[in-house]
Amino acid sequence: MDNRFSRGWRVEKVSFQTVRETNLRSVLRTVRELAPCSRAAVAAATGLNKTTVSSLVVDLMGRGLVRETGETSQRRVGRPGVLLALDDRSVAAIGVEVNVDYLSVVAVDLLDRELVERHVPLDARAAGARECARRIVAALEETMKLPEVRDRTVVGVSVAVPGLIDVPSGVVTRAPNLGWRNVPLGDLVRECLAGMPVLVDNDANLGAMAEYRFGPCSGTSDLVYLTGEVGIGAGVLTGGELLRGAGGWAGEIGHLELEPNGPECSCGRRGCLEALAGVEAILREALPDRVPDHPLSGGDVAALVGTAVERAQAGDPTTVAALERAGTWLGRGVAALVNVVNPGALVLGGYFVPLTPWLLPRCREAALARSFAPEAGGCRMEPSDLGLSAAARGGAAVMIHALDTGALPLPKATAPA
């Protein structure tokens, strides 16, 4: 990941201008890339002299970011060099995703390894924005008290939301499926966490970053992640960089109009992809005897998706036909993405994943038929294997990456440097 992912952060009362601060991050990045490695190897890679590197390593060790492995490098001349690695014992970052019917929480260590994953049912529509903010803070505080996290320094928190986000301010400009407008979520969370750095971003963007780093198509620099929730958003990577657009609101593929006389969408228009192939729309068509007329509440979606899977596996014609129609609509939306950004991979996430045996064949078929480029431009289409925590996972990883790039302050030393 490059530092372009970190644009738009708001970090208060921190200066990254000193040469030492820059050098500390350079050494930290180098240890991440080369570990286990000697101080001499770090000096050679960074161009810093060995004395400076030794001083910086001591500083980073005091901050709980670098440790000595106890192993030594084998040299032909001179004393063996003690090897360095990232310290995976002292630091954590936490990502949260709020969606219509749940909160997901993921904590990771300095090596991006998962420490905690929690899934909390939540009727976010009924709760409202301020109650959701309170629940987010409560989930964070509970997570920070868990044995896996409580003795670590939490360097930052990310919150993923399905909607339009002004990332620099942390304001949720519009989240129609939650019923939110102009909610200062970043401030609401930050003020309860003693000023801890907080990033608020779109759930599809953070999901795309998780897929880029950890998913079945990891390392694909031109990638699209489709959220499979009540709404549909697209996190788009082009050349390894998030496509945000002029106002930071790119990726709202769910509000691409595909059928002018189609069903009404939560945005107030008709025939949007989301109204045709969002999970709530799928369930209404697939389970007409089970889905109420009113919007689905917390806990309903997961149970109904399970029922749809059971009926489809049993060959229920209504359910199978509804899923296949939704797959065709998804494929038409994917074709638009293929024609505009030509991704190398497209990943279906969220509640789409258990439905992919019926969605994906029709999605591929429609994308191939409607894409201008032959074979859909070579786009590989796969289900995610990151579950309902992809956005939270991606957000936590972004916070760790931000330590290397300067978007977050380094933790204070806990031992004399």
pLDDT tens-digit readout, 377-396? 999 999 999 999 999 999 99
Is the Cβ–Cβ distance between 101 and 123 less than 8 Å? yes
Distance between CA 136 and CA 118 in Å, rounded? 12
pLDDT of res. 2? 44
Task: Give me the pLDDT at residue 78, please.
Answer: 57
pTM for this structure? 0.90
Sign of CA dihedral 250, 254, 255, 257: positive
Q: Is the pLDDT of residue 300 over 90?
A: no
**pLDDT (0 to 100) of residue 15:** 44
DSSP string, 113-131: -EEEEEEEE--HHHH-HHH
CA distance 172 to 198: 13
pLDDT digits (tens, 9 = 90+) for 191-245: 999 879 999 999 999 999 999 999 999 999 999 999 998 889 999 999 999 999 9
Spatial contact of 354 and 307, defined as CB atoms under 8 Å apart = no
Mean pLDDT, the chain, as a whole number? Answer: 91
Task: Kindly state the helix (H) or strand (E) to which residue 144 belongs, with its residue range.
Answer: helix 129-144
**Alpha helix (H) residue ranges in 203-351:** 203-214, 273-277, 279-286, 300-313, 317-341
* Strand, helix or coil for residue 92: strand
Highest mean pLDDT among 8-12, 291-295, 306-310: 306-310
The yes-or-no verdict on residue 4 having pLDDT over 50 is: no
What letter represents residue 380's amino acid?
A: R
Q: Report which DSSP code applies to 270.
A: B
Per-residue confidence band for 406, with pLDDT thresholds at 50, 70 and 90: confident
Residue 192 · residue 136 · CB < 8 Å: no
Interval 70-121: pLDDT, tens: 777 665 555 667 899 999 999 999 999 999 999 999 999 999 999 999 999 9
Confidence of residue 16 (pLDDT cuts 50, 70, 90): very low
Number of other residues whose CB lies within 10 A of the CB of residue 79: 7
**Which of these ranges, 72-86, 162-176, 398-412, has the smallest mean pLDDT?**
72-86
Is the CA virtual torsion 24, 28, 34, 35 positive or negative?
positive
Q: What would the pLDDT profile of 231-274 be if each residue is shown by its tens digit?
A: 899 999 999 999 999 988 899 999 999 999 999 998 889 999 99
Tell me the residue type at 88. Answer: D
Question: In 194-238, which ranges are continuous DSSP H helix?
Answer: 203-214
Encoded amino acid at 199, one letter: L
**Cα–Cα distance between 376 and 365 in angstroms, integer?**
10
Choose among 256, 282, 238: nearest CA to 370: 256
Q: Tokens 């939301």 appear where?
A: 161
Task: Tell which residue, 90, 31, 186, 46, has the closest CA to residue 412.
Answer: 90
CA angle 178, 346, 355 (to 5 degrees): 65
Q: For residue 382, how many other CB atoms are within 10 A of its CB?
A: 15
Contacts 24+ apart (CB under 8 A), 300-303: 300/101, 301/100, 301/101, 301/229, 301/230, 301/351, 302/101, 302/102, 302/351
Please report which confidence band the pLDDT of residue 1 belongs to, taking 50, 70 and 90 as the band edges: very low
Identify the burial level of 196 via C-beta atoms within 10 angstroms of its C-beta, where 0-12 means exposed, 13-18 middle and 19 or more buried. middle
Nearest Cα to Cα of residue 360 among 376, 341, 339, 340: 376
